[in-house]
Amino acid sequence: MLTALIVGVLPVAVWFMIGCALALIVNCPRLGQQRDRIASHADSVVAVVAMVFAAAVFTGVLSGTGMIEQMARYLLIALPESRLPFFSIIVAVLSVPFTFCMSNDVFYFGAMPLLAEAGVQHGIGAMEIARASLLDQPIHMLSPLVPAMYVLIGLPKVDLGDHHRLAIKRALLVCTAVNR
């Protein structure tokens, strides 16, 4: 299965379905057992699929309408000249709420090219801006737009709000420590 994935014989989604079917047949040979296994994970699967569709619509609206590019332009217009030497730090700080509230695709393919270009125009390398934008990943992984979050909180039946109250503080400390 791994070799076929690497070679690219079929699309990943097809291999995933084949792998799931084989795993069910091998691990749960009776139809009743298979039905129980699928039903036990149905809640988290439905939530993840619904969230993926909602995130895709949100991403499409943000990128398709040009909103994210305009947000980046307004940020650059509003930024005083005296703050430009600290632009990479500003990008690192702003990437925390931006990637929490929007998908990685929208932020990294929509806003980052504009921010990197602005950094280069003011003497800050694009690579430095790119590194600064990655420091938010502990917070991004807690975003409601990350499908894995719903699987991870669904299995132990943890409330998303409770998880955020506990984990966001710690993730912010990690972002701050890495940012130094």
Q: Which pLDDT tens digit goes with each residue over 35-61?
A: 998 888 777 677 777 777 877 787 778
Q: Which pLDDT tens digit goes with each residue over 60-90?
A: 787 778 887 787 778 778 888 888 888 888 8
Amino acid identity, residue 146? V
Whether 91 contacts 133, CB under 8 Å: yes
Whole-model pTM? 0.64
Whether 149 contacts 113, CB under 8 Å: no
Q: Which pLDDT tens digit goes with each residue over 132-148?
A: 888 888 888 898 878 78
